[in-house]
Structure 1
Amino acid sequence: MMIQGNDPYREPSFTLTHRLRRQLWNIVQALLFHTSPRPCHVWRAWLLRLFGAQIGQGCHVYPEVKIWAPWNLQLGSFVGVGDGVNLYCMDRIEIGDYAVISQGAHLCGGTHNYNSVNFQLVVKPIVIGARVWVCAEAFIHPGVVVPDGAVVGARAVVTRSLVTPWAVYAGNPAIKVGNRVNNHG
């Protein structure tokens, strides 16, 4: 779907089909997703599935979540995604079972190669493990893996994959600052 070797100053980075599909999603997102009442999680999950998202059971995706391309989104079961979250899924974003993505968090699946003459677009998947909590206004870079049970503190910036499961990370860049107790086996 992404066009390689193009000149992003004068040419699109994605195919026409992809851009049209995204435009249709933007209309649906504005008219039917964002305007839906807060308790209508089943409705929003249905809309996301309609556009190719893989959504587990019992997910709560709130109405003010911004999703760039739902067909690149996979949510496990009982995932919570709070208002103001930006799922910039230019590549795949996978969020594991019982994970919580809090208000204002930004999961960014795309960036640019600043050493490229034309700042070539680069997209990479993001994987958020099961029982992870990405706290308010945290930023997750492209290509990052957050292991099971980890907590990413409020306004933390995760620039590289985190290593230790069931740990607490905070700061910019995020570093391990503590551990969580794994009561889930």
Structure 2
Amino acid sequence: MPCMILQGNDPYRAASFSLSHRLRRQLWNTVYVLLFRTSPRPFHGWRAFLLRLFGARLGKGVHVYPRAKVWAPWNLELGDHVGIADDTNIYNMALISIGRYSVISQGAHLCGGSHDYNSRNFQLYAKPIVLGEHVWVCADAFITLGVCIADGVVVGARALVIKNIAQAWTVHAGHPTRLIGQRTQHLQEPAPRQGSQA
């Protein structure tokens, strides 16, 4: 579903989104506070159900923890066995897509929206973020809108990613990120755990 950002409005005096969009997010926020955030940590299947109910497209075995904040589930795609830790912020005004076996660690922020500071009305806009498979975004890292990250990349703790990382199976850290190493490529998928659930 498009983000439905209103164009040419005055954000200091008026909303940046249509009424229908704001009502949908308010309903999701209510469900998040009452049913998602309060759910026990092992109830990954329950949280996946709630996200799917609001339009998220999730693979099997996803682990989204209860204190992970998802701005708009309908703009979220997670491949199989993706882990989203507590205190992450998935600010998905546009689509955020995360490939299989990727991990988003505590406090990481994937920011899909910003403002055009040169526009007269400080125009809000959004761009998608795409993470490949086997990506690890470490604690407190920040990934800005429009970024694509290749398979197997590690983004170091508290790193700042402001442009694409196209070289697969590499390690990046810093402000902004720079290449600091290589990662061993694992060709075999991890064996599924007994009793795992979506």
- TM-score tier after normalising by the smaller chain length: over 0.9
Q: TM-score, normalised by structure 2?
A: 0.92
Query: Which residue number in structure 2 is paired with residue 97 of structure 1?
Result: 100
What is the alpha-carbon distance in structure 1 between the residues aligned to residue 104 and residue 178 of structure 2?
Answer: 19
Query: Which residue number in structure 1 is paired with residue 17 of structure 2?
Result: 14
Query: What are the residue-to-residue correspondences of 1:23-102 with 2, within 5 Å?
Result: 23-102=26-105
Provide, for residues 147-171 of structure 1, a one-character-per-residue CA deviation record: whole Å limited to 9, x for no partner.
Answer: 1100000000001111211100000
What is the alpha-carbon distance in structure 1 between the residues aligned to residue 9 and residue 42 of structure 2?
Answer: 43
- What's the Cα RMSD here? 0.8
Q: Secondary structure at the match of 1:87?
A: strand
Q: Give the superposition deviation at 1:3.
A: 1.1
Query: Which residue number in structure 2 is paired with residue 178 of structure 1?
Result: 181
Task: Name the structure, 1 or 2, with higher relative contact order (CA <8 Å, separation 6+).
Answer: 2
Q: Which stretch shifts more, 119-128 or 41-50?
A: 119-128
Query: Which residue number in structure 1 is paired with residue 110 of structure 2?
Result: 107
What is the alpha-carbon distance in structure 2 between the residues aligned to residue 14 and residue 164 of structure 1?
Answer: 36
Q: Give the superposition deviation at 1:118.
A: 1.7
What is the alpha-carbon distance in structure 1 between the residues aligned to residue 186 and residue 97 of structure 2?
Answer: 23
Query: Which residue number in structure 1 is paired with residue 192 of structure 2?
Result: none
Question: Any gaps of 5 or more consecutive residues in structure 1?
Answer: none
Provide, for residues 34-60 of structure 1, a one-character-per-residue CA deviation record: whole Å limited to 9, x for no partner.
Answer: 000000000000000000000100000
Runs of 4+ in 1 over 6 A off after TM superposition: none
What is the alpha-carbon distance in structure 2 between the residues aligned to residue 87 and residue 59 of structure 1?
Answer: 15
Question: Any gaps of 5 or more consecutive residues in structure 2?
Answer: 189-198
What is the alpha-carbon distance in structure 2 between the residues aligned to residue 104 and residue 6 of structure 1?
Answer: 32
Instruction: State the percentage of identical aligned residues.
Output: 62
What is the alpha-carbon distance in structure 1 between the residues aligned to residue 6 and residue 87 of structure 2?
Answer: 29
What is the alpha-carbon distance in structure 2 between the residues aligned to residue 169 and residue 161 of structure 1?
Answer: 11
Query: Which residue number in structure 1 is paired with residue 119 of structure 2?
Result: 116
